[in-house]
Amino acid sequence: MKTKPIIGILGGIGSGKSTVAACFAELGCKVIDADAIAHEILDQADISQKLIHRWGTGVLDSNGMVNRDKLAGHVFGSEEALKFLNALVHPRVLERVEAMIKAHRSGSDISGIVLDIPLLMEVGWEKRCDFLIFVNCSEEKRRERIAKNAKIDIEQFKKRENFQISLDKKKEKAHYEVSNNSDKSDMAEQIAQIFSSITGSSE
């Protein structure tokens, strides 16, 4: 039986990791989006109560749900605060990811499993992957995308990157590299070639 490869995506903020994951999805892979899982976990009653206990109700939005932007304002800039948040959220995220991997590996219509985990190496999950893809994207392009999407400002961009493993180390760890400095069609072609190589070596 052909083994379904587990593929992890590495890259800087705004490099287009989720776009790369979407390209793999078009090739029949199942994408596990850790960010979406973390969203759900932040709003679990016991987690949100611990966040309120530490930072007050200012971390909530008008509906009483955790506001990720407000939370980020407290967390990025303090290594101790980031460790506190990660210790709360990451074990539950990774437990859910592991369960999803187990479920998807038995799916006959799935050709591979892609882990779209923002801090993949930071939480040690590169060891769980059969293959790692590094998304190479210039800082100028990444800043452009961040400004366009308006998810975080440049100051937050710098703060968050300071708490992450360097891009050089991530690139060094990767089995494959994809360039995301042009358009999606070019990247999709690169991903198709990489996946062909991966599936060939997974047989």
**Number of helical H runs and strand E runs in the chain:** 9, 5
> What is the pLDDT, as a whole number, of residue 151?
63
Report the chain's mean pLDDT, rounded to a whole number: 88
CA 121 to CA 136: how far, in whole Å? 16
> What is the pLDDT, as a whole number, of residue 153?
65
Q: Looking at the whole model, is its pTM more than 0.75?
A: yes
Q: Which residue has the tokens 């090739």?
A: 27
Domain ranges of the chain: 6-201
pLDDT tens-place string over residues 102-129: 999 887 889 999 999 888 998 889 999 9
CATH 3.40.50.300, applies to 6-201 = yes
Please, where are the H alpha helices in 3-153?
Answer: 17-26, 34-42, 45-55, 68-75, 79-104, 139-149
Q: Model confidence at 152, in pLDDT bands (50, 70, 90)?
A: low
pLDDT(82) > 50: yes
Burial 2-15 (b: 16+ CB within 10 A, else e): eebbbbbbbbbbbb
Structural tokens at position 179:
């360039």
> What is the pLDDT, as a whole number, of residue 37?
94
Most confidently modeled of 119-128, 135-144, 168-177?
168-177
pLDDT(163) > 90: no
Reference 140, options 150, 120, 154; nearest CA is 154
pLDDT(1) > 60: no
